[in-house]
Amino acid sequence: MSRVAHPAGPRHGDVLPADHPPAPPADLNELQASIWPRQARRSGGVLTLGGMDVRDLAAEFGTPLYVCDEEDVRSRCRDYLEAFGPDGRVFYAAKAFCSRAVLRWVSAEGLGVDVCTGGELEVALSAGVPPEQITLHGNNKSLEELSRAVRAGVGHIVADSFEEIARLAYLTGSASPPPAEPMARPNVLVRVTTGVEAHTHEFMATAHDDQKFGFSLASGAADEAVRRVLACPGLSFAGLHSHIGSQIFDTAGFEVAAHRVVELAVRIHDEHGIEIAELDLGGGFGIAYTEEDDAPEVKGIAQSLRGIVDGQCRAAGLTRPRLTVEPGRAIVGPSTVSLYTVGTIKDVDGIRTYVSVDGGMSDNIRTALYDASYECVLASRASWAPPMLSRVVGRHCESGDIVVRHAYLPSDLAPGDLLAVPATGAYCRSMASNYNHVSRPAVVAVNAGTARTIVRRESLDDLLSLDVG
Ligand X SMILES: *Cc1c(COP(=O)(O)O)cnc(C)c1O
Site string for ligand X, 414-443 (x = CB under 6 A): ------------x-----------------
Which residues, in sequence order, are bridge partners of residue 449? none
Considering the rule CB under 6 A, would residue 284 count as an interface residue with ligand X?
yes
**Closest residue to ligand X, Cβ-based?**
328
Q: With contacts defined by CB under 6 A, how many residues of the chain interact with ligand X?
A: 17
Residue from the set 15, 35, 96, 378 that interacts with ligand X by CB under 6 A: 96
Q: Cα(80)–Cα(436) distance, rounded to whole angstroms? A: 39
Please state the closest distance from residue 190 (CB atom) to ligand X, in A. Answer: 13
Length of the chain, in residues: 469
For the chain, the farthest-separated pair of C-alpha atoms sits apart, in whole angstroms, at 75
- What is the number of other CB atoms lying within 10 angstroms of the CB of residue 122? 14
Q: Cα(454)–Cα(461) distance, rounded to whole angstroms? A: 19
Spatial neighbors of 447 by CB under 8 A, at least 6 apart, are 50, 51, 69, 70, 71
Judged by CB, which is closer to ligand X: 70, or 326?
A: 326
Residue from the set 12, 74, 76, 95 that interacts with ligand X by CB under 6 A: 95
Q: What is the crossing angle of helices 143-152 and 118-126, to 10°?
A: 20
SS3 203: strand
Q: Cα(168)–Cα(174) distance, rounded to whole angstroms? A: 8
- E strand spans, 374-447: 377-378, 387-393, 402-410, 418-422, 442-447
Judged by CB, which is closer to ligand X: 354, or 370?
A: 370
Site string for ligand X, 220-259 (x = CB under 6 A): -----------------------x--x-------------
Residue from the set 35, 54, 65, 93 that interacts with ligand X by CB under 6 A: 93
Q: Cα(168)–Cα(382) distance, rounded to whole angstroms? A: 59
Judged by CB, which is closer to ligand X: 99, or 390?
A: 99
Residues 126-155 that bind ligand X (CB under 6 A): 137
* Residue 42 CB-density burial (10 A; 0-12 exposed, 13-18 middle, 19+ buried): middle
Residues 188-227 that bind ligand X (CB under 6 A): none
Considering the rule CB under 6 A, would residue 282 count as an interface residue with ligand X?
yes
Residues 319-348 that bind ligand X (CB under 6 A): 326-330
Residue from the set 253, 283, 321, 359 that interacts with ligand X by CB under 6 A: 283
Please state the closest distance from residue 99 (CB atom) to ligand X, in A. Answer: 15
- ∠ at Cα 230 (316, 132), nearest 5°? 90
Pairing of strands 2-5, 202-205: antiparallel
Judged by CB, which is closer to ligand X: 12, or 329?
A: 329
Which of the 8 DSSP states describes residue 350?
T
Considering the rule CB under 6 A, would residue 285 count as an interface residue with ligand X?
yes
| Catalytic option among 68, 98, 397, 428 | 397
Please state the closest distance from residue 328 (CB atom) to ligand X, in A. Answer: 3
Please state the closest distance from residue 118 (CB atom) to ligand X, in A. Answer: 16
Q: Specify whether 397 is catalytic.
A: yes
Binding segment toward ligand X, per CB under 6 A, in 93-101, 123-131, 202-210, 343-351: 93-101
Residues carrying an active site annotation: 397
Contact residues: ligand X, CB under 6 A: 93, 95-96, 114, 137, 243, 246, 282-285, 326-330, 426
